[in-house]
Amino acid sequence: MREEHYWPAWDHDSQATDRIPGLPQEYPPEEDALFDELLEGDRVAPLPPPPGKRFLAKVLMGTGAVLILGVLLYTVDLMLSAGEVPRGVVVAGVDVGGLSRADAEAKLRRELEPRLTEPVPVTAGDVVANLDPVRSGLGLDWSATLAQAGHQPLDPIDRIRSFFTKRQVDVVTTVDPDALVQSVRNLASTTLDHPATEGGIGFHAASDGSGVTPFAIEPRTGQTLTDVQGAANLVKSRWLDKTGVRLPMTFAPVKATSAGVHTALDTVVLPAVASPVIVHGDGADGVLQPVTIADAMQFAPRDDGGLDVRLDSTKLRQNLQPQLAGTETAGKDAQIVFAGGAPVVRPSEDARRIDWSPTFAPLMTVLTRSDGRDLQVKYRTSKPALSTDDANALGVKEVVAQFSTGGLDGPGATNVSIMAAKVNGTVLKPGETFSLLARTGSFASGFVSAPANEDGTGPSVTGGGVSQFATTLYNAAYLAGLTDAGHTPQPYYLDRYPAGRDAQAIRDDGSPVDLKFTDSLASGVAIEASSSGSTVTVRIWGTRQYRVEGDTGQRTDFTPPAVQPGPPGCLPSSGSLGFTVTDTRVLYDLGTGAEVRRDSRSTTYQPRPIVFC
């Protein structure tokens, strides 16, 4: 065991036996040298500082050095950049940051002056256009533009940030406000604004008519520049930007998308017009050519962006009707004709017509095929308004009443003959009402020009003289016991007719006047009308039910005629008195002889002037 050494706490020469607390009492041989060095001299050497304190001291020293360096750099930067445009400033795409005011203005002039007269690119929605800056009254205030950039910031954080960021500064524009607003408004109305275009499909027809080529009509959103003044302000601030000016627009959306249009084109329209469709009728075929199919196509956008394809059946029908007309039967009502002085029923025929709706029902499916492009015609039959059995059951077997008038001549006689032919053969069921105007139509077809009045007086008009036929027909219906459903007496009395029992069919201005009566008999009636020479006759056929008597009252309230000269070439007239008269028709039951009813009607005639030529 090696010898122990004891060290006084303050003097190595001391003989104190106190040991240094915390030190080992025995040391390995290799430590002796260390102790020898430590004990050189009169006192013990101080202990080294802890490691944590040494690190803190280094950090404080480094931070201080950085701060001192930052202050030096800030001071130098502040001195060097005094009077310059702040770093990072960009004017209309031109970087002038860090330059002196003079250099910055020179650079702006060099870069921007050529652009002062160049067209300004304007983007609005899907339209790109140009605006003339000179005509729009636009110019540039150079010094005021640079003044907007401000001065170098004093905040060190802002100065450091300026090395890494850019700041856009608007140009200061000189402007004629009225000229700019007008230029923007004109550009909007002529170029920027456009209506919405819904997607669809168009067709190019081959010059030789052999076929059609469909093409897509691309959908386009509509747009309108609603804030012209706001757009002018935006142009004023951005007109020198290299990227141009983008104006906000108000948009009108469309439903169909381009994809929806092309889907309809590829899957429906192209196959549909690739070749004709054969339409098979009974005994004849029709052909729908591609150009006809294309003309009948209609397109409707859907909310999901697709495009519906429809067919206008009316156009298809107009094309096919002439081709298939021979496969239809028009049908005929039963007619009552008068052969040998007796009524004979001419049989009716059922109508057989193409039923177009079910015929076209499978057409859309057929159009998508490349072969088997055939369509079968569907027909429907319909009964006539008056069948043969109905006509035989009407009881038209004898003349119920007849009336004739004479004195016809010239073109007036021709018109009466034409009207008689139109009315001849008319059949009424019990309760049905006859209309002369509905039966004969206007006087434009077939009638000739003649004096309006049947005695040859009055202006010459187309259809003149037909009032004589109306009066003849009215009296035949009067005597048959039919019910008056509306007629107009003639304005002047003509002594060829019973007073109070005439009817007008045409006015002096050529306009028609209607005559109506209703079949109030238990049987049906048929009208036989004929004109021969100067006479016209109307017979009412049916089953006699009444004995009819007419009673014409006394004429009253006479009005003398005026006297007036006529125009050159006129016909003289002796004129006639005006008066009022009442006619009473009495109906007696044919079987019992009892009075059934009586109808009275008063008529006032105007005086006809005395005309001398």
Q: What is the pLDDT of residues 494-547, one digit of tens each?
A: 988 999 999 999 999 999 999 999 999 999 999 999 999 899 999 999 999 999
Ramachandran bin of 137, using left for φ above 0, alpha for ψ from -120 to 50, beta for the remaining angles: left
**Residue 512 falls inside a structural domain:** yes
Looking at the structure, do residues 361 and 380 belong to the same domain, yes or no? yes
pLDDT on residue 237: 87
CB of 563 closer than 8 Å to CB of 500 = no
| Residues of the chain above pLDDT 70, percent | 86
Looking at the structure, do residues 352 and 399 belong to the same domain, yes or no? no
**Residue 170 falls inside a structural domain:** no
Can you give the CATH number for the domain in which 370 is found? 3.10.20
Q: Last residue of a domain, which of 327, 362, 389?
A: 389
- Confidence grade of residue 454 (pLDDT, cut at 50, 70, 90): confident
Looking at the structure, do residues 273 and 330 belong to the same domain, yes or no? yes
**Residue 200 falls inside a structural domain:** no
Mean pLDDT over 580-588 rounds to 97
Q: What is the pLDDT of residues 298-316, one digit of tens each?
A: 999 999 999 999 999 999 9
| Residues of the chain above pLDDT 90, percent | 63
pLDDT on residue 19: 45
Residue with tokens 């935006």, as numbered in its chain: 234
**Residue 184 falls inside a structural domain:** no
Looking at the structure, do residues 462 and 590 belong to the same domain, yes or no? yes
Looking at the structure, do residues 409 and 384 belong to the same domain, yes or no? no
CB of 489 closer than 8 Å to CB of 502 = yes
Looking at the structure, do residues 423 and 559 belong to the same domain, yes or no? yes
Q: What is the pLDDT of residues 235-287, one digit of tens each?
A: 998 988 888 999 999 999 999 999 999 999 999 999 999 999 999 999 999 99
**Residue 78 falls inside a structural domain:** no
Mean pLDDT over 78-92 rounds to 64
Residue ranges with strand state E in 535-606: 535-542, 546-552, 556-559, 563-565, 578-589, 595-605
Looking at the structure, do residues 406 and 382 belong to the same domain, yes or no? no
pLDDT on residue 588: 97
**Residue 449 falls inside a structural domain:** yes
Q: Last residue of a domain, which of 358, 389, 420?
A: 389
Largest distance between two CA atoms of the chain: 188
- Count of domains for the chain: 3
Looking at the structure, do residues 459 and 552 belong to the same domain, yes or no? yes
Q: pTM score > 0.95 for this model? A: no
Spell out the SS3 assignment of 440-501. HCCCCCCCCEEECCCCCCCCEEECCCCHHHHHHHHHHHHHHCCEEEECCCCCCCCCCCCCCC
Mean pLDDT over 332-346 rounds to 86
Residues in contact with 76: Cβ distance below 8 Å, sequence separation at least 6, in sequence order: none
Residues 554 and 163: their CA atoms lie apart, in Å, by 124
Mean pLDDT over 456-485 rounds to 94
Torsion angle in degrees (nearest 10) through CA of 121, 122, 126, 127: -80
- Confidence grade of residue 338 (pLDDT, cut at 50, 70, 90): confident
- The residue that leads in pLDDT, 396 or 209, is 396
**Residue 464 falls inside a structural domain:** yes
Looking at the structure, do residues 463 and 562 belong to the same domain, yes or no? yes
**Residue 357 falls inside a structural domain:** yes
Looking at the structure, do residues 384 and 409 belong to the same domain, yes or no? no
Looking at the structure, do residues 406 and 381 belong to the same domain, yes or no? no
Domain that holds residue 308: 260-389
Mean residue pLDDT of the chain comes to: 86
CB of 312 closer than 8 Å to CB of 335 = no
Bridge-based pairing of strands 285-288 and 277-280 is: antiparallel
Looking at the structure, do residues 332 and 423 belong to the same domain, yes or no? no
Phi, psi (deg, nearest 5) at residue 158 = -65, -35
Half-sphere exposure of 597 (CA within 13 A, CB side): 7
Q: Last residue of a domain, which of 350, 368, 389?
A: 389
